[in-house]
Copies of this chain bind each other. A is one copy, B any other.
Amino acid sequence: MPGTPPTRFVYLGPEGTFAEQALRTLPAAERGIRTPARSVPEAMDSVRDGDADAALVPLENSVGGAVTVTLDELATGSPLVITREVVLPVEFQLAAPRLLPLTEIRSVAAHPQASTQCRGWLAANLPDAAVVDVLSNAAAAISTAEGVHDAAVCAPIGVPRNGLVVLADKIADRTDAVTRFALVTRPAPPAPPTGDDLTSLAVSIRHDQVGALLAVLTELAVRGINLTRIESRPTGERLGTYVFFLDCSGHVAEPRMGEALQGLRRICAEVRFLGSFAKHRWSPAAHAEGIPGQDGLSDADFADSAAWLTRIRDGRVT
């Protein structure tokens, strides 16, 4: 039922990935049922079909960028909304079935994005090992446990689960990398504003690109709405037509966001509302509000202006 807290969770599997680690930071998920899915589309379809109440899927990584399959799934098919974001530090470990000197390692299994993020460390510490691409961080751990490769680059959660031991910790070249995950559910009224919320949208613009994208940003700026993220994805129709994913500061229940959303609805070919939710404490510091120097955009200003409009419509000009 809409509004009921979710108890059945699905996440991007296999077991032992960062997504499982992220999901378990939520108390309700720690208490509930957690099921891995083989892919992001499978995870989201199980929510659409009612087999799960919520799915935890990756949105973007501070080094690797957007997780495009998640964006594409959010933009198409039966609507889903984001109700939580979770931001998780991404730490890679080098693991093997047993302790051994690095010089003995001849092959290292790694997901390509993982080996990219650890490129410097691998070049410095395993210059002679072959890095073998595999299809997930969990697959790297599993194939290493099975003896196919000498070592694996994997997530901390995958090490004990596959009976491996840690040879080296925090081997990513950037020690501050994070991945942002979304908890998505079937549409339901959003939780009340916390004062530090995000609203996610998928927007298809009309006609030509220039004027239209400028007009979208203007609708937001005029209401003092900050854009904290913009991603473009092809519609699949042809080169040059895109869906834009916008993360905006604010909550759909707030007047300024309500006015901006109505404006976008009017001028865009399509606007899909993807949810209003509290910013995770890991989110970057709030940006300056609105067009720099533009005042008059507080909730109190909106209330005052609405009251004034009522007065002048009634002929009570003072």
Binding site for B on A (CB under 8 A): 2-3, 60-66, 68, 79, 81, 87, 112, 133, 135, 174, 176-178, 180, 187-190, 206-211, 213-215, 217-222, 225-234, 236-242, 252-253, 258-259, 261-263, 265-268, 272-273, 282-284, 287-288, 290-297, 301-302, 304-306, 308-309, 312-318
Contact = CB atoms under 8 A, between A and B. Distances in A.
Contact of A261 (B220, B242, B312): B312
Given A62-B234, A187-B317, A295-B206, A259 B259 contact: yes
The 8 A-B residue pairs whose C-beta atoms are closest, nearest first, are: A292-B293, A266-B296, A189-B315, A208-B287, A262-B305, A187-B317, A240-B284, A265-B305
Contacts of A219: 222
A215 B65 contact: no
Nearest to A255: B262
A62 B292 contact: no
B211 A214 contact: no
A208 B230 contact: no
Contacts of A214: 214, 217-218, 221, 291
Contact of A283 (B135, B239, B306, B317): B239
B239 A267 contact: no
**Chain B CB within 10 A, most for which of A180, A215, A222, A239:** A239
B288 A239 contact: no
A81 B240 CA distance: 21
Contact of A221 (B68, B211, B301): B211
B190 A309 contact: no
Contact of A227 (B112, B210, B316): B210
A136 to B, nearest CB: 10
A300 to B, nearest CB: 10
Contacts of A3: 315
Nearest to A251: B313
Nearest to A133: B135
Contacts of A313: 189-190, 252-253, 258
Contact of A236 (B62, B187, B295): B62
5 contacts: A2-B315, A187-B318, A239-B283, A263-B305, A288-B293
Contacts of A283: 239-240
